[in-house]
Structure 1
Amino acid sequence: MRKKVILVFLLFSICTSIFAQRERVENLPTFDKRKIHYGFYLGVNQNDFKLNLRNSAIQNANITIEPSSGFNVGLIADLRLHKNLNLRLEPGLITNSKNIYFNHIATQRDSVREVSSTFLHVPLVLKFSTDRYKNIRPYLLAGVSYDYNFSSNEKNQDDNSAGQFRMQTHNFMYEVGIGIDIYLNFFKFSPSIRGVFAMNNEIKYDDDPNSQWTAPVNFMGTRGIFLNFAFE
């Protein structure tokens, strides 16, 4: 799935870039001189967990993650710092789900946990742009983000012994990406692809220190690919 997302992004960017370069008129010639401008984005994502196990009372622990695709939507506030450098705040909502398989647990009911999440995702990123060429302008992105997990179950008194898989509510990420600005007649269209990676351990451990679900886990953190389409 990730390879398909990257391939779609590359093909789409190439096609739109060729179209933009064929335009003889330079669209929106003063757009990048604005100190502040706004926009919005729509997109898709695929998230799973980076998982590290540790030695525990659970022998031969075996945990696998099955990700699925989700959606992104949000707003953009862009501050021009330099002709090739912008600071961007991109608050939005993200939805996705994952299945976690605890293969060392024999019973089917206890061996699978579905984690469906809705996040408030607040990235603060630096955008490093090349000089504009006709109606296109490639760029790189790098920054940090804060995620508030509305579906974390962190304060739930029940844990996996009662069928409740719990995660941390407050999480921090770093992200890097590439994209291209395409200047159209009335707005700037910017497809981008970025990787998002957790900095903190997101799992909420069960009350039982020897829990067969959480005791083997040393680190569980989000990692994902975001494909966004921005309109500014």
Structure 2
Amino acid sequence: MKRFLLLFLLIISLNCNAQLFGRDPIINLENFDKQRVSWGYYLGFNYYDFKFEYEDIDKDILVESTVGFNVGLIGNLRLNEYFDLRFEPGLSFNQRNLTFPNFALEEEGLREVRSTYIHFPLLVKFSSARTGNIKPFLVAGVSSALNLSSNINSKEDNSNNVFRMAKWTNFYEVGLGIDLYLEYFKFTPSLRGVFSFNDELIRDNDPNSPWTGNVGSMKTRGVFLNFTFQ
């Protein structure tokens, strides 16, 4: 998460040139935000984690997170000068490695959780007044995600090295970003946190399973660093 934040700040600083922030900048795309509906796409990175809660006090399940990739489309509906409604369907790919405690052999307790989500966020964007060629904003909303790698229909479980998760997950999302009006398009770096509402773990067939028996809930949380082009 710290690396994402540093990269986000670096990108903003690299764009702090005279054209955007000078005393008398050339105003780019002056009427862009007056469109009722606008479209775009985004590319970016994600960093997913799990938040575990336990039935009884025990050693924590260790989560090793990796950086994944996002790609998607944007539909933007202008409500007024300061508010927009946005729909941002996309794909995100990620892997999380879980190490469960109390196993003599580490490989018995290791599970590689590969996730491919089809993400459906509905967001409200609140922007400040535009200053020259920049406009900071906050964004918040809810989303649902379909996990194509959930293994929910598998009859096998962790005893057969199959880790199962819920097929659908609901999130709330909050974030911030800055619109940069360049000569030919609007470029927007943004940073957003996503937090699951629901328990995503499908328990093993054995209620006393050493992998899932002590887990009260398992919820996804993550950070998205996206770069939008409109």
- Judge same fold: TM > 0.5, yes or no: yes
- CA shift at 1:18, angstroms? 3.8
What percent identity do the matched residue pairs reach? 47
CA distance in 2: counterparts of 1:185 and 1:112, whole angstroms: 50
Structure 1: runs of 5 or more not aligned: none
Match of 1:176 in 2: 174
**Partner residue, 2:39:** 38
Query: Deviation digits for residues 5-38 of structure 1, max 9, x if unmatched?
Result: 1011012113314441137210001111100000
Q: Tell me, which stretches of 5 or more residues in structure 2 are unaligned? A: none
1:199-214 → structure 2 map (5 Å cutoff): 199-214=197-212
1:58-83 residue CA offsets vs partner (Å, 9 max, x unmatched)? x8343111100000000000000111
Q: Structure 2: how far apart are the matches of 1:3 and 1:12?
A: 14
Shift of 1:110: 1.6
| 1:70-113 deviations in Å (ceiling 9; x for gaps) | 00000000000111000000000000001000121222332100
The CA RMSD over aligned residues, in Å, is 1.2
| Equivalent pairs, count | 228
- What is the TM-score of this pair, normalised by structure 2? 0.96
* 1:4 CA displacement: 1.3
Q: In the alignment, residue 94 of structure 1 is paired with which amino acid?
A: S
Counterpart Cα distance in 2 of 1:35 and 1:7: 34
Counterpart CA distance in 2 for 1:60 and 1:188 is 50
User: TM-score by structure 1 length?
Assistant: 0.95
User: How far did 1:54 drift?
Assistant: 1.1
Q: Are 1:5 and 2:4 matched, yes or no? A: yes
**Equivalent residue for 2:97?**
99
Q: Give, in angstroms, the shift of residue 42 of structure 1.
A: 0.2
**Structure 1 consecutive aligned stretches of length 4 or more whose deviation exceeds 6 Å:** none
Q: Which amino acid aligns with 2:113?
A: V
The question of whether the paired residues in 1 share the 8 Å contact of 2:99 and 2:106 is answered with: no
1:8 partner SS: helix
Q: State the 1:127 CA deviation.
A: 0.4
Tell which deviates more after alignment, 4-13 or 158-167. Answer: 4-13
